[in-house]
Structure 1
Amino acid sequence: MRIALVGYGKMGKIIEEVAQKRGHSIVAQLNETPTLENLNNPDVAIEFSNPEASFENSRICLQNQIPVICGTTGWLDQKPEIEKIAVENNSAFLYGSNFSLGVNLFFALNEKLADLMKNFPEYQVQLEEIHHTHKKDAPSGTAITLAEGIIKNDPRFDAWKLEETKDHQLGIFALREDEVPGTHSVFYKSDVDEIEIKHTAFNRNGFALGAVIAAEWIQGKKGNFSMKDVLFN
């Protein structure tokens, strides 16, 4: 494939390395707003930029019928509009809050556990995420996906919030520490014991590999997708 990297920071450079090892060509490395010219006729754009730029980056690609794999978090209030643009332009958009295979298995485990625990109100639920100090958004997109998985399966909750769980709001603690790629934990705590599930990323390579696999998968497809479509369908 011919891949345009829209956002060429730490993640972009790792994605470049992984993609080239899998036989793909990098035809653009952009930290500026994409245009039809500087995108250089790619088969797909992989967008890891920042919350302020992500919507416009994706819009330009989709309106030029370039499929987009987007891993930027912190802009999801605009995601429905981008998904509409993808359909209107007969293109394809795939958003992932986390492209790691392990994390996507963790998402499925989290939903299964939430479904099991919904009938045991003596257990209080709490989420925690730890990331490097350079991460701009809080909570992480991965933590939000975990929270949404619990909310979907446990009628006690109808929303998430930063800090501790309160009433019908599921709490997420967002911690920032030096050079932590990403650690996510879900706790179910009662007066007598605690159940914890946890995913720890050792580096960013798993995220990059998942993004490239998603880019390979989306070729020839039209519409809006997630990593669940790539891995489980």
Structure 2
Amino acid sequence: MKIALFGYGKMGKMIERTALGRGHVISTKVDIGTTNIDFSDMDVAIDFSTPDAALGNISSCLEHGIPIISGTTGWLKDYDKVVDLCHKKNGAFIYASNFSLGVNIFFELNAYLGKMMRNVNEYKITLEETHHTQKLDAPSGTAITLAQGIIENTDYLDWKLNGNGEKTIPITSKRIDAVPGTHTVSYHSEVDSIEIQHTAHNREGFALGAVIAAEWILGKKGIFSMKDVLNLG
């Protein structure tokens, strides 16, 4: 499989190593300053670029009939535009705030816990995420996905970074050198606390999940998620 990498930073290089190890070819590397892109020399694209570049990268691939996987966060105000373009071009697209296989299982666990706690009003929910200092956005896309999973299954209405409110999930973001990513969802009451946590030991899990998603999407048409890739229902 010929893979194009949009974004050739730390994640792009790790995806390259993972893809090569699984027998694929990196046919194209697109980074800041790249002008000429040969869309005929790629089977699938993986985008881990920047919030400013993501929409253009994804749109260009869909325009040229290239299925694309995106793990870039911070651009989702334009997500509906991508959905419309994908349908218009009969293309294939996967966005995930986190491609780690473990994190996507954690998403399902988080939603299930939310359903269990829906009518237990004694608990207040908080969410904390910690990442390396080079992460550009806060809160993380993963934290937002976790918050949305809670909102969909409880009577909470929204989330807010460093905020509070009766029906608002407060998210705390910390930036510490060399932390790949830790997410903690906590339910606190006066008598006890319940916590679920996912801790990434390195970024290799993110890269592996992205390559697996790229392998999975070949030959498919539509908008998908990691739930589809992992058959999580």
Do Structure 1 and Structure 2 share a fold, with TM-score over 0.5?
A: yes
> What is the percentage of aligned positions where both structures have the same residue?
56
Cα distance in 2 for partners of 1:37, 1:103 equals 33
Gaps of 5+ in 2: none
Residue equivalent to 2:28: 28
Distance 1:179 1:42 in 2: 33
What corresponds to 1:144 in structure 2?
144
Following superposition, the deviation at residue 34 of structure 1 comes to 6.7
Using the TM superposition, give the Cα deviation of residue 196 of structure 1 relative to its aligned residue in structure 2, in angstroms: 0.5
- For 1:39 and 1:49, the matched residues in 2 are separated by 17
Task: For residue 36 of structure 1, report the CA deviation from its aligned partner.
Answer: 7.0
Compute the displacement of 1:39 (Å).
4.2
Shift of 1:16: 0.4
* Post-superposition offset of 1:40: 5.2
TM-score normalised by structure 1 residue count: 0.96
Structure 1 residues 216, 51: closer, same or farther in 2, change over 3 A? same
- Whether the aligned pair in 2 keeps the contact of 1:61 and 1:67 (CA below 8 Å) is yes
CA distance in structure 1 between the aligned counterparts of 2:125 and 2:226, rounded to whole angstroms: 25
| Aligned residue number for residue 89 of structure 1 | 89
Runs of 4+ in 1 over 2 A off after TM superposition: 32-40
C-alpha distance in 2, partners of 1:34/1:104?
A: 32
Q: Give yes or no for contact 2:39–2:66 (8 Å, CA) kept in 1.
A: no
Q: Which residue of 2 is the match for residue 99 of structure 1?
A: 99
Write the mapping of 1:109-188 to structure 2, written as runs, cut at 5 A: 109-155=109-155, 157-188=156-187
- Per-residue deviation at 1:45? 0.4
Residues in 2 aligned to 1:34 and 1:218: alpha-carbon distance in whole angstroms: 26
User: Once the 2 structures are TM-superposed, how far is the Cα of residue 170 of structure 1 from its aligned partner?
Assistant: 1.2
Equivalent residue for 2:203? 204
In structure 1, what is the equivalent of residue 68 of structure 2? 68
| Shift of residue 41, structure 1, vs aligned partner | 1.8
What is the CA-CA distance between 1:220 and the residue it aligns to? 0.5
What is the CA–CA distance in structure 2 between the aligned matches of 1:27 and 1:170, rounded to whole Å? 43
- Compute the displacement of 1:218 (Å): 0.2
CA contact (8 A) 1:34 1:60 kept: no
Q: Distance in 2 between matches of 1:230 and 1:122?
A: 36
CA contact (8 A) 2:130 2:174 kept: yes
The whole-number CA distance in structure 2 between the counterparts of 1:52 and 1:59 is 13
Contact 2:39 2:64 in 1 (8 A): no
> Match of 2:226?
227
Q: 1:190 corresponds to which residue?
A: 189
1:90: how far off?
1.2
Q: Alpha carbon RMSD of aligned pairs, Å?
A: 1.3
Indicate the SS of the match to 1:37. coil
In 2, are the aligned partners of 1:126 and 1:170 still within 8 Å (CA)? yes
Q: Does structure 2 conserve the Cα–Cα contact (< 8 Å) formed by 1:214 and 1:227?
A: yes
1:83 shift after superposition: 1.1
Any stretches of 5+ residues in structure 1 without a counterpart?
none
Letter in structure 2 aligned against 1:150: I
